[in-house]
Structure 1
Amino acid sequence: MIRGIRGAITVKENNEREIVSAAEKLIREMIRANNIEAGYVASVFFSATEDLTAAFPAKALRNIDGWTYVPVMCMAEIPVPSSLKMCVRVMIHLNTDTAQEEIEHIYMEGTKKLRPDL
């Protein structure tokens, strides 16, 4: 079974260090909270809002030991009026037997309001 694990974090400034650092903080917490091993990951998608242009957030994944061969992709978030700005989102596609309701989705910093139900 492939499951999706969602995560999001806001970024303070549009610069490479800030974007990659925030993305790495988020992905490491997603890995920790869900006990993810890279060998079970099918792919990872990152998206960024249109105001984040200084770096690819997916670069953060390459800072994590053992994740070299995990397929990763970046894309632009749809610029919906009044949507959250300065935001990086992640979707990890994971091979797992874990039930959907047991997956821990991670929303950090200003993104907690995106999914208050979680």
Structure 2
Amino acid sequence: MTEGPEQRVRAVRAVRGAVQLERDEAEHMREQVSELMTAVLERNGLTSEDLISVWFTATPDLHSDFPAAAARKLGIVDVPLICAQELDIEGAMPRVVRVLAHVESDRPKSGIQHVYLGAAGALRKDIAQ
């Protein structure tokens, strides 16, 4: 029996990330969420074709736009996206957009790079890269 080239094993993985906005303005949110999504894809060697679904959450003090709108502007158009509101916890970091992307990847769980931009790096120092 002839052995072929090694097959890459693809699995469903979850990628986390977050960014803190400086202000609640639609254009600023689009810029920051676009930067976050671009970093999530690039750091994990992904394209929009690898995305299965994406959850966005925003803290209750963000009202200017849907974070998913930024993903659509990036060309992520045939992937289910959903937005939800974070819990309103006293003392929580304000103006934060979080993302949980389900992807197909050949990376092991330990190879996934979670992306916490700017001040949001303080949210998960244990996994921020």
Query: TM class by shorter-chain length?
Result: over 0.9
2:52 counterpart of 1:42: yes
* DSSP 3-state at the match of 1:12: coil
What does 1:1-118 correspond to in 2, within 5 Å?
Answer: 1-65=11-75, 67-118=76-127
Instruction: Note the C-alpha offset of 1:77.
Output: 0.6
Q: How many residues align?
A: 117
- How high is the TM-score relative to the length of structure 2? 0.86
Gaps of 5+ in 1: none
Which portions of structure 1, spanning 4 or more consecutive aligned residues, are displaced by more than 6 angstroms? Answer: none
Inter-partner Cα distance in structure 2 for 1:9 and 1:111: 5
Report the TM-score when normalising by structure 1. 0.94
**Distance in structure 1 (CA, Å) of the matches to 2:73 and 2:38:** 10
Identity of aligned residues (%): 28
Structure 2 unaligned blocks of 5 or more: 1-10
